[in-house]
Amino acid sequence: MININEASAKELLGYYQAKLDEEAREAKKAGKLVCWSASVAPPEMCVAMDIAMVYPETHAAGIGARKGSLDMLAVAEQKGYNLDICSYARVNLGYMELLKQEAMTGETPEKLANSPAARVPLPDLVITCNNICNTLLKWYENLAKELDIPCIIIDVPFNHTMPIQRRCKEYIAAQFEEAIKILEKVCGRKFDYDKFLEVQKQVQRSVEQWNRVASFAQLEPSPLNGFDLFNYMGLIVCARARDYAEITFKKFADELQAKYEAGQYAFGAAENEKCRVAWEGIAVWTYLGHTFKTLKKEGAVMVGSCYPGMWSLVYKPGDMLSMAEAYTKIYINTCLENRANVLKETAEKSHSEGAVMHLNRSCKLMGFLNNEGGEYLTKELGIPYVSFDGDQTDPRNYSEAQYETRVQALVEMIQERK
């Protein structure tokens, strides 16, 4: 058992990530419900009904970071899933197929036994939301069909204009209420609105501490290396409705504050921060160390990224329209003008002097418009950008040499501009 008061943020992160997986496994053993959820789908309703949550995107990222994604991708490809489908989906569908085989035969497939990822149980229901992409709809519909389980879908309209129109918020809020009715049928009991309110309040406390952590990257020199946001992201995705995230992020923010006051920064001494860059796109989980170390070698601190900000889900607890707005204004679910402004604001607040744009092979919404975003930054702020080809969990779509060359070019352009 860990001493929460004495443990470091890094220790808390590892402890709570393992605890979430163990809770899902124990819930399954006890005959309780387990839900697989999309990363930016609302967990508030399920958590209020004491349903254990598992997040396939985070799980797939963990498999990729531990160099185990190729086995899962091979299983998915043997089943006929196309290479152009999101690699998170393919990794998860491959993993699901192996879990199915195990459940049907009583024997653990070799690739499942050798997987470096934490074991998670098969779901009893799934919930998804298309505020980050429409692939999630077919992905989770497929899970529900393969496993013959209920599928809750929160359909979020794309926001062609800003601010969010009231009719869109009302449409989404009505779906929250419909999801509650479905959960009542699945669980066989009435929905606990009092607990729902407490869960909403917890989400807001977790988000507050998450945003507090991210704000340290705006300091010069920065005590926060932006890649740490990628490492800690698992809890804002999987545990924002639990106090696990709030406790860990508060400890991390307190550590960053102490570090800054002591004159300790992301790369040690202040002079080691040669330049500051923004990162647009999902992390390359299969090469997370390489992407970070290449920047560090050049003295380039990653201080700004819109990606972790997708979980800045600020709303008023008890107000369904406010909650609906929070879940629909994810920046990639908004018009190009707003998306560009979010990117610009992120670069400005973090005092970024250049940008690295990840052209993601299998996540079109997080890669397709990145060159346009880079051009917008150059036009509006005068800062240079470079792009590189990659993928979140398929290592075959990434070149170390290309990335290194692009980073070196970016640093040279920043130095020349200075």
Query: What are the DSSP calls for 1-17, one per residue?
Result: ---TTTS-HHHHHHHHH
Residue 317: is the preceding peptide bond cis (ω within 30°)?
no
> pLDDT tier at 2 (50, 70, 90 boundaries)?
confident
Full-model pTM: 0.96
With 80 as the cut, is the pLDDT of residue 367 above it?
A: no
- pLDDT tier, 366 (very low <50, low <70, confident <90, very high otherwise): confident
How confident is the model over 31-59, as a mean pLDDT? 98
The number of beta carbons lying within 10 Å of the beta carbon of residue 186 is: 18
**Cα gap 56→76, rounded to integer Å:** 14
Contacts of 220 (CB under 8 A, 6+ apart): 273, 276, 351
Contact 283, 307 (CB under 8 A): yes
**DSSP letters of 176-189?**
HHHHHHHHHHHHTS
Question: What integer is the mean pLDDT of 354-373?
Answer: 88
The set of residues, in sequence order, having a beta carbon less than 8 Å from that of 178 and lying 6+ positions away, is: none
pLDDT digit string (tens) for 249-295?
Answer: 999 999 999 999 999 999 999 999 999 999 999 999 999 999 999 99
pLDDT digits (tens, 9 = 90+) for 317-336: 999 999 999 999 999 999 99
* pLDDT class of 44 with cuts at 50, 70, 90: very high
Q: Could you tell me the pLDDT band of residue 147, with boundaries at 50, 70 and 90?
A: very high
- Residue 305: left if φ>0, alpha if ψ -120 to 50, beta else—which one? beta
For residue 403, pLDDT beyond 90 = yes
163-191 pLDDT per residue, tens: 999 999 999 999 999 999 999 999 999 99
Reading the block at residue 103, the tokens are 């459940």
Q: Is the pLDDT of residue 418 over 90?
A: no
Distance between CA atoms of residues 375 and 342, nearest Å: 14
CA dist., res. 313 & res. 211, Å (int): 10
Q: pLDDT for 113-131, tens place per residue? A: 999 989 999 999 999 999 9
